[in-house]
Structures are given as structure tokens and as C-alpha cells.
Structure 1
């Protein structure tokens, strides 16, 4: 019994030492940040890895994460510049850059960012009209990020981006917007059709003008070709006349040869004709008839002259 009482004190000391050592050893995960206070005052920040602190004297005030965090902007009613009441909400993405400032400069940085985002959102929406709010959502996101980033920097927080997730418009405004969009579509369709018709008329007129130009050019070329043909034909006839004159000057019977040749061609055409009212007379007979007619005319003329003399 005496032996057991003697061992109690060493065993208690050993147990106390183990507990102290266990409390002094701190293993911090890679993405966490531990804020350590010594006797109630900020001492240091523990990053990921193995650390040893002094139990009882040192105390871990808060455990933060260095990963990106999401802060919801609760849905709220906001009035635009043109007095339209809309409901809007969003999300803020942020991360802790300075664990000391995030701990001591603000009570709850997430709640502070959410409230600041709501206030900033009301201010920005109040300076914009409804159409700008709906169409320039990206611009609104950038403005919110700039405003929140400058304020959150004092808390050791970096705002990486802001996203407006939803904008709800009253039903009557939604119907009016749908009617306006439908009218705008019809207007664009009419303008597009008018523009297409105008282009078609212009292209048609251009095609007609090109066609008339080509026709005029073709007529001009045909006239030039015909003129050239007539000039060459006249030139050929002139050369032929010169040759005929030279032949006739050298041979007296050249003219008779040409006349005989033309008679043969004429008689051949007459003979090949299908007309029934025709009579082919040899050249000698025609000459005889011609001579007889001449003698007859002379005879009757002489008789008429004799009668005239007797009467006188």
C-alpha cells in the first residue's frame, strides 16, 4: 500500500506531462490558417504543417481557411432609376489573404460582405434603368466587385468575383417587355425585307443596265462588221471592175463573153423555175423578132409619112 502511494505522484506527473505535450503539438491542414494568441494577445499565424505551442499560455483563437469561399447575397427588392421594383440576388466569391485582419478588424467577415453587397447592389441598381440592368449584367458585376473589393481589403479579404444570379421582373412589366420585343422583332423584319427589296431593285436595274450596254455594244460591233464587209465587198467589186476594164481593153470579145455568161445563168434559172407561164426562146429567134419589129416600125412610119405628103 505504501508502494502504491509512492508511485501515485510520479505517475500523475507523467500523465500531466503527456497531456501538456499533447496540447502543445498542433498539426495544421494545408489549406487552413490558425490564429494563435499568447496570454490574450495576437502572437502568430500557423500555416499548414507541424507546429508546437505552449499550452495554457498560447491559445488558438480561430481557425480559418485559405480556400475560396462563397457568400450569398440574399434576394432583395430593389427599385431601378425608372421606378421599376425588381427582385435580385447573387453570389460573392472571396478568400482570406490576411488571417490577422480577418480576425481582428471585423467580427464576421462573411456577414459583413453580405450586408455590404446588398447595400452596394441597391445603390448601383438605383442609378440604372431596367433595360440597362437586364442587358448590362456583366458591367454590374464588375462595379460590385470593385466596390466590395476596396472595402473587404481592410478586413484581409480578397473579393475574386461577383455574380448576379437572378433578376425577377414583375409580371406586368414582363408582359410589356415581351410585347416590346415582339414589336422590335417585327420592326427589324420589316426593315430587313425593305432592305432586301431595295437591294433586289438595285441589282435588277444594274442587270438591265448591263444587259442594255451589252446589247448596244453588240449592235455597234455588228455595225462595224457590216461596214467592214461592205467596204471589202466594194473594194472587191472595184478590183473586179478594174480587171474587167483591163480585159475589155485587151480583148474586144471579153464583153460579149460576160454577156453570154450572164444570159446562160438567167436562162438556167428560168428553166429551173416551177412557173407554168413561161416561154423559152433561143437567142437567135429573139434577135430575129427584134429585127422584124424594127423593120415593122420603120415600114409603118414610112407609110404614115407618105399619107401626110399626099394630103398636103
Structure 2
């Protein structure tokens, strides 16, 4: 009588039992016994979700070499545990080969910038290719993810410099636009100020003319024999003396008024010579 062999099978696993080298049955999770000496434990099949990370190095359409990391999550189909155990010698090697095939056929058709945008499409292409192939071996592909896209460091530096140059160009344009607005607003303010100053001068001169007109009318009406010319000469002489007074009373002013007539110039020179003799 032979002694039984005890086996404890873990949850989410089955043990493959062979009799004389031929598949006989699966042992379910829990405590199991193998009585026949012709039977042996051939291996186990796990139904847990497994993950495989594959690094693929290839080049893009614009001849930029990069490394991508593809993460595949797969699981054995319970109804196909037999195929999963006997169909493939190395499951991970088979999945890796299909990932290489898909990535190295898809990436060379895309430029570097388009690779980052097409990450989801690449992951979907990998998943569909693996699902079509691995389902016949008893495996289902739950998810395929492109977890990393890593170009050469020099390429990344060049991309950063291009982006920096574009942003600097935009900043310079915005700064120039701001300076343009300041100059335009300053010119508009100066034009408005000159316009208002001109309006003020015009109003001032109009007020002076109106005042002179009133003074002439009043003076002509009150003094008999006074003509308009006499009144104008008197007013101009009064303004002349007022101007001399204002200029002479200023501390910082060193202006000398000389009459425009030849007689006035001669009188000014005589006054200067008399001052020297004193």
C-alpha cells in the first residue's frame, strides 16, 4: 500500500496533476491528496492579475531615438487553464515579442511631438494585438498602458530651448505692445494738453480784447476830444510799464529792454555812458 501525497493549494490557483506524464486533472484550492504513485504534481496555474513592464527602444519618423515603457496587465482565463499551462513555454517572452512588434511598427510612422499625443492610441493598439493573440493561449489582456516616453536628454534640452524661445518671443512682443500703448497714450495726453492750453490762451486773449474794448469805449465817452488811437496808445504804454515792473522785480531775471527805434537806442547808450561817468 502506497502512502498518499498531501498538497495544499492556495486561493486563486489550481495545481496540475499528471499521470504517467499525461494531464489528468486540476486540484482546486485547499487540502488535497494524491494516492496513486503514478500521479505527480506538474505545476500550478495562478488566476491572479499579473503585470509585465517592457522597455522598448526605437526611433520616430523624424529620426529621434526614444525609450518607451509599456505595462501590460494580464490574467489566466479559468475556463482555459489547460491552454494557459501547456500552450506556452514562456508567457512573458511571448507578450514581450508582440509588444516589440507593435511598438516598432507604430512609432516610426509618428514624429516625436505626435508620439506624446498618440499615447492612448499606441496603448490601444498594443492591447488589441495582444488580446487577439493571447486569447488563444488562455490569457486575457486587461489593460495596456504607455507609462513612460523618454527621448534622449539632448533632445529634451533642445525641446525645452525651443519652448523657451517661443515664450521669450511672445514676452518681447507683449512688452513692445505695452510700450506702444504707453507712447500712444502719452502722445494723446500731450495733444490734449496742448489743445486745452491753446483753448486757454485763446480765451485769455479774447478776454483781454474784450477788456480793452470796454476800456476804450468808457475812456472815449468820459473824456472829450480823446480818440480811439489815444486810448490805445495809453493802454499799450500802461501794459509796457507793467511788463518792465514785473521783469525788474524778479530776482532771477537779468533781461534788459531796448527800444526798437533808433532814437531809443541812442538814448539808452547815453544813459549807460552817464552811469559810467558817475
TM-score where L is the length of structure 1: 0.50
Flag the structure with larger Rg: 1
Q: Distance in 2 between matches of 1:194 and 1:153?
A: 63
Change (3 A) 1:188 1:61: farther
Change (3 A) 1:77 1:45: same
- CA-CA distance at 1:192 after TM superposition: 8.7
Q: Which runs of 5 or more structure 1 residues have no equivalent in the other structure?
A: 1-15, 201-312
Alignment of 1:15-30 (within 5 A): 17=2, 19=3, 21=4, 23=5, 25-30=6-11
2:146 corresponds, among 154, 164, 167, to 164
Instruction: Report the RMSD for the aligned CA atoms in angstroms.
Output: 2.9
Q: Is the 1:109–1:155 Cα contact (8 Å) retained in structure 2? A: no
- CA-CA distance at 1:187 after TM superposition: 6.4
> Which residue of structure 2 lines up, in the alignment, with residue 33 of structure 1?
14
> Which residue of structure 1 lines up, in the alignment, with residue 94 of structure 2?
112
Change (3 A) 1:187 1:35: farther
> Which residue of structure 2 lines up, in the alignment, with residue 291 of structure 1?
none
- CA-CA distance at 1:109 after TM superposition: 0.8
- CA-CA distance at 1:67 after TM superposition: 0.7
1:51 corresponds, among 23, 26, 32, to 32
Q: Distance in 2 between matches of 1:137 and 1:112?
A: 23
Q: Is the 2:12–2:29 Cα contact (8 Å) retained in structure 1? A: yes
- 2:53 matches 1:72: yes
Q: Which runs of 5 or more structure 2 residues have no equivalent in the other structure?
A: 182-278
The structure 1 segments of at least 4 consecutive aligned residues displaced by more than 3 Å after TM superposition are 50-54, 183-196
Structure of greater relative contact order (alpha carbons < 8 Å, 6+ residues apart): 2
> Which residue of structure 2 lines up, in the alignment, with residue 173 of structure 1?
155
Q: Return the structure number with greater helix share.
A: 1
Matched residues, number: 178
